Amino acid sequence: MPIKKYHEEFDLFLSSKGVLLPDGQYGVVHTFMDKGVGSFGANHRELDIYHREEGLRSWLNGKYNVIGQHRATDWLRAGLGHICLDVVESNLPNKYTWDHVYEKAYQLMKRMRWNKSRFIFF
């Protein structure tokens, strides 16, 4: 599981690709995504419903009176990027550079079409 620093660097990477807004307001998303570590341990990615697209969307829907549509879409993409980075990092041997990991995570995000995901409050 990458430490917060690598998720923040991946956010910058995604921002440079036009996936995320450039203002860098994603810390709350990563804190939320890693909240399950305390309850589920290292397996939180598999066990925590909020570490999946459906759970992330559910959490964001509860923010309808706190954030606007553009921010919700941005946070959704940051959370989906968080998931992609976790998946790629856990499946690659340690010999790869973080730049390589970021590129692979971005490719996964594009394959899943998550780089174009939109969030609509319901």
Instruction: Please count the structural domains in the chain.
Output: 1
114: amino acid identity, one letter: W
Distance, CA of 117 to chain centre: 12
| Tokens linked to 90 | 């856990």
Range of the domain at 83: 4-115
Entry pTM: 0.90
- The predicted-structure confidence for 52-108, as pLDDT tens digits, reads as follows 899 999 999 999 889 999 999 999 999 999 999 999 998 887 788 999 999 999 999
Give the three-state DSSP class for 68: coil
Distance of CA 106 to the CA centre of its chain: 11
Q: Which residue has the higher pLDDT, 35 or 40?
A: 35
Domain contains 25: yes
Question: 8 in a domain, yes or no?
Answer: yes
Is 72 within the bounds of a domain?
yes
Examine residue 85 and state whether it is found in any structural domain, yes or no.
Answer: yes
